[in-house]
Amino acid sequence: MYSIQIKGHALCIISAILIALLIPRQSLSQNKPMNAMSVETLKLQVTALSRNSQTISSDFVQEKMMTMITEKIITRGKFFFKKEKMLRWEYTEPFSYLIIINNDQISVKDENKVNHFNVQSNKIYLEINKIILGSIQGTLLNDEKNFKSIFMENESSFIVLLKPLAPKLKESLTDVVIHFDRRDFTVSQIEMLEPGGDRTRITFSGKKFNQPMADEKFLVH
Amino acid sequence: MKNSWFISIFVLLFAGCVSVKPAKLTRDPSQITRNNVIHQPLQVIPFSSRFLLFKASLDIKKHHLTGLLVIKRMDSLIEAGNPGRGIRPVYRIVFANEIGMTFFDLELTCDSLKVISCFESLNKKALMKIFRTDFLLLTGMDTMTEKRFYTQSPTNNLVVFGKAGKLKSWQTFSPSGDTLIKTSGKSTIADPVIISYLKYEKGFPTRITVENPFISMKLTMRLLNRKP
């Protein structure tokens, strides 16, 4: 019995050492800092992609992870972008909710109730607009006035960690993490971290570029 | 100075006028029968679930906030502050906009409401006191005591009055006593609340409205997901 316990302890210790050795290596191998040249290449590629993309459409899955609550809130929807500043952000599951940003006008359709307002008049949407459009257009990567950027990479992604500098934005977000797909420099994931520890992760899939897209898509009826 | 006194008195008089008592009540003499119809504990009808997810909108003064509201009964239990109230659950209440940014994250026990995080514009002591009353009543944290039974005309609804902790509360049930239609209550003249339970599906209300007439606040909730 005693020897079994010792064996058990030894096994635990060995496992712990192995895990301790493996996890840091794995996390290091997952995300390592990018050098200045790679950062410049990323910025140039993202800007070039943005310049050449007249329209983008994609499906998305949004997961909100809350501290102390094991259940994730998962929502799904579709996203459409048309140059210069037209965005359709549509939740389809488990509820229907539509946000349309057409230049500086925001329209929100919530259960058949439609509201229109100016993007400048709503601070939350103003920030969301900046983050989503800025991620797609790559302008956030150069926004040194509002964000401190940390560039990392792993086998599948370039990862840009943006730390808000503006005091107002800092109150609601501590970090914005943008994942760019290594293969095509498109945004594959945006993660928003809040001061309380809550996180929202938006993962994009089925991205399509430069497909015909009517302006009517950015109108609310 | 005179003006401020006048305004205070006016506000107090106005607040005193906000009644949460259901109208047209007649004291029900058949209390024993009624007591058997409505099983204890009354307040956990319908909030017997561990996890509730609502699509919600909060209208307060000129602000209109929409998003998702989570009410989660945590695994931990705590001893109520006052003796005799026993062990009570702990709830976590999170309201976030559709994009995921948290408006407020609150921890509710029968004795306190702890603000985990909150948008600065909402994080006011007076508002949090009102939220506490709202969510205490909504979650039915305290068992109702000193009950009195009434019948409401012309609906013949069954109305129960009682004390739940510091709250004086009214509960309106269907005539058969098996469906909760409305609860209302207040602990002070500043926090009256009326909660309506609508569109029952499989014994659970899929629409809930929480109204605070004193500050013209309305929380509208539509059930999206429920884990028993």
Could you tell me the residue ranges of all domains in chain B? 20-227
In the DSSP assignment, the letter for residue B177 is S
Contact B100 A198 (CB under 8 A): yes
Whole-angstrom distance, CA of residue A188 vs CA of residue B18: 53
What residue spans of chain B are helical by DSSP H?
2-17, 31-37, 125-139
Range of the domain at A114: 33-216
Question: A79 to chain B: which residues are within 8 Å by CB?
Answer: none
Contact B97 A97 (CB under 8 A): no
- What chain B residue is nearest to A124 in terms of C-alpha separation? B101
Residue B134 above 60 pLDDT?
yes
Question: A108 to chain B: which residues are within 8 Å by CB?
Answer: 66
- Both structure tokens of B197: 């339970």
Residue B27 above 50 pLDDT?
yes
Average pLDDT over residues A177-184: 93
pLDDT tens profile B135-174? 999 988 777 788 888 989 899 898 989 888 888 999 998 8
Average pLDDT over residues A149-172: 90
Whole-angstrom distance, CA of residue A216 vs CA of residue A119: 19
Whole-angstrom distance, CA of residue B224 vs CA of residue B228: 13
State how far residue B25 is from chain A, nearest Cα, in angstroms. Answer: 36
Residue A200 included in any domain? yes
State how far residue A64 is from chain B, nearest Cα, in angstroms. Answer: 6
Residue A11 above 50 pLDDT?
no
Contact A73 B96 (CB under 8 A): yes
Q: Note whether B70 contacts A: Cβ–Cβ < 8 A.
A: yes
Whole-angstrom distance, CA of residue A138 vs CA of residue A46: 6
Q: What pLDDT is attached to residue B64?
A: 86
Q: What pLDDT is attached to residue B75?
A: 77
Q: pLDDT: is A221 or A52 the higher one?
A: A52
- What chain A residue is nearest to B74 in terms of C-alpha separation? A69
Residue A95 included in any domain? yes
Q: What pLDDT is attached to residue A151?
A: 95
Residue B214 above 70 pLDDT?
yes
Residue A176 included in any domain? yes
Q: What pLDDT is attached to residue B7?
A: 54
**Residues 108-137 (A) with a CB less than 8 A from some CB of B:** 108, 110-111, 115, 124, 128
- Give backbone dihedrals phi and psi of A139, rounded to 5 degrees, phi first: -70, -25
Q: What pLDDT is attached to residue A103?
A: 83
- What's the total number of domains in chain A? 1
**Residues 37-56 (B) with a CB less than 8 A from some CB of A:** 51, 53, 55
Residue A155 included in any domain? yes
Contact B92 A64 (CB under 8 A): no
Mean pLDDT for all residues in chain A:
83
Contact A171 B116 (CB under 8 A): no
Contact B57 A110 (CB under 8 A): yes
Among B66, B72, B117, select the one facing A196 at the smallest CB separation: B117
Residue A60 included in any domain? yes
Residue A78's identity, in one-letter code, is K
- Is residue A127 within 8 Å of residue A200, measured between CB atoms? no
Whole-angstrom distance, CA of residue B169 vs CA of residue B186: 7
pLDDT tens profile A60-110? 999 999 987 888 999 999 999 998 889 999 999 999 999 998 888 889 999
Contact B116 A67 (CB under 8 A): yes
Residue A22 included in any domain? no
Q: By mean pLDDT, which of A2-6, A10-14, A171-175 is the weakest?
A: A2-6
**Global ipTM:** 0.79
Q: What pLDDT is attached to residue A115?
A: 87
Contact B99 A200 (CB under 8 A): yes
- Both structure tokens of A118: 């100016």
In DSSP notation, A53-93 reads -SEEEEEEEEEEEETTEEEEEEEEEEEEEETTTEEEEEEEE
State the first-to-last Cα distance of chain B, in angstroms, to the nearest integer.
55
- Both structure tokens of A9: 């302890």
Contact A64 B100 (CB under 8 A): yes
- Is residue B139 within 8 Å of residue B125, measured between CB atoms? no
pLDDT category, A170, cuts 50, 70, 90? confident
Residue A40's identity, in one-letter code, is E
Contact B101 A97 (CB under 8 A): no
Contacts 24+ apart (CB under 8 A), B195-199: B195/B134, B195/B137, B195/B138, B197/B46
Beta strands in chain A, from DSSP E residues, in sequence order: 32-33, 55-66, 69-82, 86-93, 97-102, 105-110, 113-118, 147-153, 157-164, 175-181, 187-193, 199-209
In the DSSP assignment, the letter for residue B23 is S
Whole-angstrom distance, CA of residue A84 vs CA of residue A22: 46
Residue B12's identity, in one-letter code, is L
Q: What pLDDT is attached to residue A25?
A: 41
> Closest Cα partner for B131 from B42, B69, B193?
B193
- CATH at A168: 2.50.20.10
Q: Note whether A214 contacts B: Cβ–Cβ < 8 A.
A: no
Whole-angstrom distance, CA of residue B217 vs CA of residue B191: 11
Contact A198 B99 (CB under 8 A): no
State how far residue B212 is from chain A, nearest Cα, in angstroms. Answer: 23
Fold (CATH) for B20-227? outer membrane lipoprotein receptor (LolB), chain A (2.50.20)
Q: Is B164 helix (H, G, I), strand (E, B) or coil?
A: strand
Q: What is the pTM of this model?
A: 0.82
In the DSSP assignment, the letter for residue A120 is G
| B212 Cα distance to chain centroid | 10
- Is residue B58 within 8 Å of residue B95, measured between CB atoms? yes
Please, what is the Cα angle at B32 between B137 and B187, to 5 degrees? Answer: 20
Q: Note whether B206 contacts A: Cβ–Cβ < 8 A.
A: no
Q: Note whether A78 contacts B: Cβ–Cβ < 8 A.
A: no
- Is residue B50 within 8 Å of residue B73, measured between CB atoms? yes
